[in-house]
Amino acid sequence: MSGVVRFEWLATGPLPEGAGYEVVWWNSDEPAVGARGLAPPTTGASLDINLDPLYANSSFRASQLHWTVLVVQVSPYVRLTAPGEGEVGTIYYAAGAGGQ
């Protein structure tokens, strides 16, 4: 897939006050702790994110990418959960393949 991809998740409980969900990603040859945000935090349970800019700036080193959703304090920004602690998804990016 490429282009705009829909990321969806199920909350395990209510968000703390001032918190949001952040979709983060990392390359398959990197540790999860190095995960980077794909979009600003949201209080919703899904996001549509265009992956093509990350591919265009050579952020993807391979076609396989991992992603997860973190709970973060929005301001000041603090990660309340850590990558690798919850469920991890995998995306196979193919330039020009279109999203789902």
Q: Which of 83, 22, 96 is nearest to 55 (CA)?
A: 96
pLDDT in tens, 38-55: 999 999 999 999 999 988
Q: Does the pLDDT of residue 98 top 70, yes or no?
A: no
**pLDDT band at residue 97 under the 50/70/90 scheme:** low
Least confident of 6-10, 19-23, 54-58, 81-85: 54-58
Tokens encoding 25? 């990603």
Over range 24-50, report the average pLDDT: 95
Q: Which residue has the tokens 């000041």?
A: 76
Tokens encoding 7? 């990321």
pLDDT the model gives residue 55: 86
- Dihedral Cα 82, 21, 95, 88, nearest 10 deg: 40
Sorted by where each begins, the domain ranges of the chain are: 4-92
Multiple choice CATH, 4-92, 1.20.58, 1.10.357, 2.60.40, 3.30.43: 2.60.40
